[in-house]
Structure 1
């Protein structure tokens, strides 16, 4: 292969400078790697490389600190919003965000999530929703769809036994402290571009002191769903998007500062 073919200007994918060379542990087809790239790109474009602090708890997101060369703080399971609130209050000039899965955010950390958003903490919560506990064995999560099979509901989720899926993003949009609430995905180029714009808007709103932002990324877990990456994306488009429709649910970023 000639040097011209593999030269920098001919590369389709260019890794952001903030992403290091540590091999990712994510399963093939997982959405986490794409979202990591978007977060890195936005931080670089904002010039916040030395003033960003990410907080990640237990779950597939727990090793995010291995891949992005910014400051990170680990948090107990579900407690990332509480830790992020403390960091932002101590260092108001920092870009502070959490990176959480649906089991962590919508179940174990429901209290911390809802109250941080309701207080209007100037942080961004990035919420990866793949409707399952991906890291710990594929158990049912609060976001698991009705009829969806997991290791703890092998015959499918039923509302009579398991209750209904929880729409955390819709709840967040009703809270006084939130300024920007959106639901995105990263399964196509167009979706990736939209998700990046949403992350940028959320980060800018937090730095402007406008309140809390929640960016949900509807994602796949092809390993937990027992599907190929291609089939998982199709299943997500045909099923997840019906119950979790994409788009902005709340956008007050052009209004005056909340605090």
Structure 2
């Protein structure tokens, strides 16, 4: 539950950072001005940080499910203290990874797109960003899913205790949901990945970030809806709050 809550929080933070950038871009467009607002660079940095936190939070969930299925007797990972420690480590990594761009001045104001981002081009920083923010967590999640599918198939072929196989299949379903979330992000954010590759050949369109962010905002909405749909405790808690408020309003009206 703690790891799921971490993913939900990371998604909301990333969505808030994206919304901040988009709102300032819209404001400048409506006023027809080219103006770098005071916290433009910091918010640009925050988008990289929160995106990293979100991706690695999904990786933590996948690792947890893998250990829970393959090594059910090792209870150290089940401890909330251990989970909190790994969450803190992932946050520290996420804050530290993009810090290079902040201090080297690579996050700059893009006049055409009216946002502060790192210029896409063939450079170590861009490759480093793509590898650390996307490449590592996505590839590891897919690899863990492959290992779990093979492990569950082996369990099905062998004789196992009655409750072991259903539990493994249930946890595999949870990892499959994580993979679905990752595939949603990868698919809808494909324009950003395409522009990233095109930047290596200096053929990116003028408003590349605007186009990519439209798809990115759509991806965030889809991820939030999917997280809500997949997270039964969150869904039940929200429904209880809604029902409680509805019960409070009805007597007041009557």
TM-score range, shorter chain: under 0.3
TM-score (norm 2): 0.24
Structure with greater helix share of residues: 2
Structure with greater strand share of residues: 1
Ranked by relative contact order (alpha carbons within 8 Å, sequence separation 6 or more), the top structure is: 2
TM-score (norm 1): 0.24
